[in-house]
Each structure stands twice: as structure tokens, then as C-alpha cells.
Amino acid sequence: MSNAIAEAPATKLSELDQLKKFTKVVADTGDFETMREFKPQDATTNPSLILQAATKPAYSYILDKVLADRKGSGLTGHAQIEDVIDHVLTAFGMEILQIVPGRVSTETDARLSFDTEGSIAKGRQLIGIYEKAGISRDRILIKIASTWEGIRAAEVLQKEGIHCNLTLLFSLPQAIACAEAKVQLISPFVGRIYDWFKANQKRDYTGAEDPGVQSVTTIFNYYKKFGYATEVMGASFRNTSQIVELAGSDLLTISPDLLAKLAASDEPVTRKLDPAAAKSSDIERIQLDEQAFRFLLNEDAMATEKTAEGIRKFAADIVKLEHFIGSKL
């Protein structure tokens, strides 16, 4: 009779748990329950996500508290609405920071995308609200669009110890300008790049041939080759294939539905992006000043169109949020 004890079969790790070995997973949502369920390191929000959350009955207590707290601000009209929105954005951020161990990204007004001084003032304002509530600025990322003006604003804020997340990023020139401005983190938009090429070329893409995946891979390799400290966080995914192809990126910010799909699958995940491999690649350095940045961005139809479209959409959602807040005052 054998003395060997039968070993229980090893439990397979989900795609999500495997991904967490290579990459910091970030929740791209304003929904607290999603964060509790999937335990991301960080969370990102934007005006669209906050608008969705703020209009749900489950989160009405946040808005009610802000409205009560800001009643005595002495502000009227648009200034009052703007003040309430800043406090709503940061109130959601503070709730999120009770759930995630890392950082939360809070977006500036997209209508400031071509206003360097306005973006700097808004970044300082948002950080000021957080700090007044006792939140360390190390736990906050201020989201600003990756325009030339937005990057210049982030450069100033970074020197003040206000960390920035440069969003609506679709091209290597935008990424290089961000890295040279020493911004903390960038969010290249994988899914929106994919959308543009799918519509433009009238064909679908999968795996490593996906133009959004290729864009982030190029940016990641450029950063690691030349030793830039700026973190790369792939964003705006359409499917789990795009996410798995970017395993090894510094961070990936993922929507609730795709987090659920990754958690439900146990297909193998391997590291695709490797800093060591990037170091030994033969990438050439690109020299950038304002003129080169604007020309190279202009030469890239996809990046030009998607940056402009993204700013318009986020600006429209801020206006909707203003109307919603105005109706409550």
C-alpha cells in the first residue's frame, strides 16, 4: 500500500491575479463597490465617471454633504457651481482613498486644456481641498489633457510637488513632451486609438497588431530605453486582449466590466513589456521643442482628432455636471 498522499490540484490564478504580478492594476470607475471587489492599487476618475456616479441614488449622500458644507461659501452664480463641483470631485476622491491603498486621479476642467495658467490654478485648488482634509498630495494625481499648454501646466505643478496624470494621450510626441516635463504619469488611450484605426481602415485588430497596443508598447520602450521616470498607465480598453498584450506596463487602468472578465478567466498571462529588453533596443531619441511637438502631432491625424474629440467630450460632461449641480442649488 502506497504511503503517498494525493496532492490537491493547484488552483489556477485568474488573469487578473496573474496580471497583478507584472503590473499595478488601477480601477477606471467612480463606483466604490467595484473597487472593493477587485482590490486595485489606485483608481482614476474623470468628469464622465463622476457625472454617472453623482446622479445615482447610492451616492447622493456625497453630493448632499458637499451642498450642505458649501452653503456658507459666500459664492454665487457660476463661481458657486464651480466651487461645488471642485468639492464633489475631491469628495469622491476622498471616499475612493478609503478603499484603495494607493492614489486617486482627479481631473481638471477640460475647458482649460489650452489655458496653462488656468490649469495650474485649478490643480492648486484641487490639491488645496485635499490637503485641507488631511490628504497627502502624494496620494493625488491631477489629470490634465496632453496638449502643449497642459504639459507646461503639469511641469509647473510637478515642481511644486503636485503630481500629475497627463490624459488624452495618443502619440509618442505627446509622451516624450510629458516625460521631459517630468510629469508623474501618463495615460495613453489604447481603446480610442483602436477605434480610430478600425473605423479608418475598415478592419478589426487583435493581439499585438492592435494599433493602440503598439502605441503604448512604443511609448513604454522609449521611456525605459532613455531612463525616463514618468510612469506609463495604459487606459481606455475595449477588450481583455488589449490588456493582456500590455502586461508589464507600469500600470493599467481598467473598467469594471473588463476587471470582471479578467477575474473570471484563468488563461495564462505572460509579461509582454520588459524594461530590460527596451534598454537594449535600438530606438533613436527624438528632439522636441514646441514647434516640433505641434508639427509632429499635426502630422498624426489619429492623435490630432482623438485629442480634440476627447477634450470636447470631457468638456461637454463638465457642462452636464454644472447643470446637474445648478439644479440642486
Catalytic residue positions?
143
DSSP state of 65: H
Tell me the backbone φ, ψ of residue 212, rounded to 5 degrees.
Answer: -70, -40
Do 170 and 303 touch, CB atoms closer than 8 A?
A: yes
- Number of helical H runs and strand E runs in the chain: 15, 8
The helix (H) or strand (E) run that includes residue 232 is: strand 231-234
How far is the C-alpha of 79 from the C-alpha of 102, rounded, in Å? 32
d(CA 182, CA 119): 17
Selection from 249, 252, 251, 250 nearest residue 272 by Cα: 249
Buried residues in 21-55 as b, exposed as e (16+ CB within 10 A): ebbbbbbbbbbbebbeebebebbbbbbbbbbebbe
Element (H, E) at 165: strand 164-169
Q: Which three cell numbers stand for residue 98?
A: 478609503
3-state helix, strand, coil in the chain (%, to 5): 55, 10, 30
